[in-house]
Amino acid sequence: MDNDRIIKTEYSEVMQKSYIDYAMSVIVARALPDVRDGLKPVQRRVLYDMHELGIRADKPYRKSARIVGDTMGKYHPHGDSSIYEALVVMTQDFKKGLPLIDGHGNFGNIEGDGAAAMRYTEARLEKVTQDAFLSDLDKDVVDFVPNFDETEKEPAVLPVRIPNLLVNGSEGIAVGMATNIPPHNLGEVIDATKAYMQDENITTQRLMKYIQGPDFPTGGIVINKSELLDIYETGVGKIKIRGKVDVEKGKNGHINLVITEIPFTMIGANISKFLQDVASLSETKKTQDIIDISNQSSKEGIRIVIELRKDCDVENFKNMLYKKTRLEDTFGVNMLAISKGRPETMGIRDIIKANVDFQFEVNTRKYTTLLEKEQDKREVQEGLIKACNVIDLIIEILRGSKDRKQAFACLTEGKTDGIKFKSKESSVMASMLLFTERQANAILEMRLYKLIGLEIEALVKEHEETVANIYRYEDILERRDSMAQVIINDLEQIKKNFSRKRRTVVEDGAEAVYEENKIQEMDIVFLMDRFGYVRTVDVATYERNKEAADSENKYIFTCKNTGRVCIFTNTGQLHTIKALDIPFGKFRDKGVPIDNISNYDSAKEYIVAAMAQSDLNLYRILFVTTQAMCKLVDGGEFDVSKRTVAATKLQDDDEVISVQAITDQKNVVMQTRDGYFLRFPVEEIPMKKKAAVGVRGMKLNGSDLVESVHYTSYNQAPTMEYREKEVDLGKIKLGRRDSKGTKIRV
């Protein structure tokens, strides 16, 4: 290899440059929409490909697979799934305020079911997409750039006639930034655009007289109207939305709460999550008003029915739903889009301004192209009219010429050499003909039927129309007011043909306040079996089944139903669980895995001890680790509300082996893997904070570890079996902390 071709570069510099290049590619060319047409590259390419394939609104549907394959092969080499997903979303009227593609087949639903495979579904462009997104592409209105392999040309942006970024909104995650723009009402956005064009100094506040707020396709109620001005000025903020709830009479005098509209953020799997959350309110005794829940939604719309008791406080229950479920949710607004090649956070005025500037640019290019075509047409028409006036001379030139080249030279330059004329006068007149090249070609290609009187009259009339068009196009190009009126006329036509009534109500709603039903405090018994399934039962149930409960469960203790359960693990973590979150029921109920209701992860840790949090306050808690570190901690330090905290500090490669509340225990007995036993008084262990490591309780040989910990009390010294030999713990020699202990021979 030629050493001169090896370029030595700092690795970090290469990584930094490569990552920045990648990040900018994702930001500009994949994840964020362009402020001019409101489309991401994949959406733009799908629509343009359908336009090129001729899959128009008045043509038959074509297989989605055909569209996806063509788009991938020509314009978007990033995999078919992303292309099909973009196509699907553009058909879904529950996600888009203005669907751009007309889908035929299963394109998913509002409850989160996915679309059928692309080989089954069909699609074609919507009429609005043809009229407002793709028209005039043949008039040089936008730049065309090479595709990924430079075999095709694609538009850098579509000549969209409306602020689509506001109408359809957008969402996307790039590198280090994300966009989330809510959809708005087409008619309102067009009215705001017209207002801006009539007064470019218009404020956001005045624009909001036209744009009330977001208009979500799922309807719902925006309840923080007073905060929208700041959101629309800065492009950042939080919109609070609620579902629409109606009250109906149910069977047997019951009350039916019927949800007919949902927050936009609830689309998909969150509907089933909402149903689970409502059921959970009943299961955890947050409310006892629910009799039944049913999802009666269909193609006609959302209908979720919650059947309530006769004496239910409906307003209080509705407020509980707003507080405890996603029936009231937040839409995080971040109006980030690509403007002039770079990402920019924009308010609605900036977005409308960018679109209006784009409309002037598009229309300038459009009418410049049309003007050039009309001027070319006028030139030809004037040549043909002039030729008709001297048609006899033209015929004489054509009959007297040897070839087309000779006749062409005579018509354009007046050269008569070599042409046979009937008279010298004809030759002189022919030498005075000075047609342009375009006019001469048109004359030479003119058919004889064009000499019919009516055809000549039609030519003159067409010429008059052409001249009128030229005057009109020149006026549009020269006067901004004239072009503005053309744009406004286009917007009004689009509004007339495609706008619809607002679906989302915008208001300043009252804060949802509800009174929780006071839970009657009672003692319950916590049960956890060796498989990690937990449940609670009342004390009487436990007493009736005490023998079975004691044999089947690993951890059993009494606690308050309003309290918390503490789980200590080998990794030194303390996980707390509200007793109300633990299923309460019959003795033979299976319960739920403890992983499901806490941060405890059985794949990464195991439980060392479980006890009621209320009991911890009464005692000192003794920690022992496998490396024989030990300490006493005041139980009050574990009276925490966080779901997970560090219960102790561990050295490297150490783990907790025992956590014990000290009641009447007098001595602690540590037993190692190699068979050493050390019994010493609990009082020799110092009190420490939970963040401390502790002190050494026993000297260990080499790689020996503490294997188990036992306790003896004033009245009791239990026995244990060690390698098939029974060991009386009370007879083990009493030693001192941090000594080696006694080896048990077997």
pLDDT of 567-583, one tens digit each?
A: 999 999 999 999 988 88
- At CA 625, angle to CA 622 and CA 631, rounded to 5? 35
Alpha-carbon separation of residue 355 from 93, 192, 229, 437, 576 (angstroms): 24, 12, 20, 41, 54
120 is catalytic: yes
Assess whether 649 and 552 both reside in one domain.
Answer: yes
Domain that holds residue 680: 523-743
Q: 3-state class of 638 per DSSP?
A: helix
What's phi and psi for 79, nearest 5 deg?
A: 100, 145
What contacts 24+ positions apart, CB below 8 Å, involve 712-721? 712/665, 712/666, 712/667, 712/669, 712/679, 713/664, 713/665, 713/666, 714/664, 714/666, 715/664
Q: What's residue 730's pLDDT?
A: 84
> CB within 8 A of 586, min separation 6: which ones?
537, 541
Using an 8 Å Cβ cutoff, are 323 and 512 in contact?
A: yes
Cα 741 off chain centre by: 63
- On the CB side of 740, how many CA atoms lie within 13 Å of its CA? 6
Provide the terminal-to-terminal Cα distance of the chain, rounded to the nearest Å: 72
What is the rounded average pLDDT of the residues 638-653? 92
More confident residue, 680 or 453: 680
Asked if the model's pLDDT at residue 13 lies above 60, the reply is yes
Is the model's pLDDT at 1 over the cut of 60? no
In a domain, 606, yes or no: yes
Residue with more model confidence, 392 or 366: 366
pLDDT at 491: 96
Which CATH number is 374's domain given? 1.10.268.10
Whole-number Å distance between alpha carbons of 499 and 515 = 43
3-state secondary structure of 10: coil
Bridge partners of 573, per DSSP, are 646
Is 510 within a domain? no
Q: Which own/partner pairs from 54-61 qualify as long-range (CB within 8 Å, at least 24 positions apart)?
A: 55/123, 55/124, 55/125, 56/124, 56/125, 56/130, 57/102, 57/124, 57/125, 57/126, 57/127, 57/129, 57/130, 59/124, 60/124, 61/102, 61/104, 61/122, 61/123, 61/124
Judge if 36 and 134 occupy the same domain: yes
Do 486 and 532 reside in the same domain of the chain?
no
Residue-wise pLDDT tens digits, 339-363: 998 999 999 999 999 999 999 999 9
Residue among 259, 364, 264, 253 at smallest CA distance from 302: 259
Is 238 within a domain? Answer: no
- Which of 105, 134, 159 marks a domain boundary? 159
Instruction: Return d(Cα 96, Cα 91) in angstroms, integer.
Output: 8
pLDDT value at residue 418: 81
CATH code assigned at 307: 3.30.1360.40
Q: Is 223 contained in some domain?
A: no
DSSP for 454-505?
A: HHHHHHHHHHHHHHHHHHHHHHHHH-HHHHHHHHHHHHHHHHHHH-----SE
Overall pTM surpassing 0.85 (yes/no): no
Please report which confidence band the pLDDT of residue 670 belongs to, taking 50, 70 and 90 as the band edges: very high
Query: Does residue 562 belong to any structural domain of this protein?
Result: yes
The per-residue pLDDT for 22 is 77
Domain with residue 559: its CATH number is: 2.120.10.90
Whether 234 is covered by a domain: the verdict is no
| Close Cβ partners of 470 (under 8 Å, ≥ 6 residues apart) | 371, 374, 375, 378
Whether residue 705 sits in one domain with residue 637? yes
Q: Is residue 491 part of a domain?
A: yes
pLDDT digits (tens, 9 = 90+) for 488-544: 999 999 999 999 999 999 998 877 776 666 677 889 999 999 999 999 999 999 999
Task: Tell me which H or E stretch contains 361.
Answer: helix 348-389
From the list 250, 261, 328, the residue with the least C-alpha distance to 289 is: 250
The count of domains in the chain is: 4
Mean pLDDT across 109-136: 94
Q: At 139, list the tokens.
A: 């008039």
Q: Which residue has the tokens 């979500």?
A: 216
> CA 179 to CA 110: how far, in whole Å?
22
Which of 142, 159, 176 lies at the terminal end of a domain, its last residue? 159
Which position among 120, 473, 514, 600 bears the catalytic label?
120
Q: Are 491 and 529 part of one and the same domain?
A: no
From 115-129, 140-154, 430-444, 691-705, the region with the lowest mean pLDDT: 430-444
> What pLDDT, on a 0 to 100 scale, did the predictor assign at position 139?
93
- Residues 594, 719 within the same domain: yes
630 alpha-carbon distance from chain centroid:
50
Shortest CA distance to 672 belongs to which of 730, 621, 732, 714? 732
Are residue 398 and residue 547 in the same domain, yes or no?
Answer: no
Q: Measure the CA–CA gap between 46 and 71, rounded to whole angstroms.
A: 6
492 and 529 in a single domain? The answer is no
Say which CATH number the domain at 141 has: 3.90.199.10
| Residue 617 CB partners (closer than 8 Å, separation 6+) | 635, 636, 639
Q: Taking the mean position of all CA atoms in its chain, how far away is CA 205?
A: 28
Residue 4 within a domain? no
| 268 pLDDT above the threshold of 90 | no
Q: How far apart are CA 493 and CA 106, in angstroms?
A: 32
Asked if 370 and 297 sit in the same domain, the reply is: no
- Residue 250: pLDDT band (50, 70, 90) is confident
At 589, which helix (H) or strand (E)?
none
Residue 45's pLDDT band (cuts 50, 70, 90): very high
Distance CA 246, CA 253 (A): 16
Dig out the tokens for 512 from the structure. 């949802």
Same domain for 682 and 553?
yes
Same domain, 363 and 451: yes
Residues 534 and 479 in one domain: no
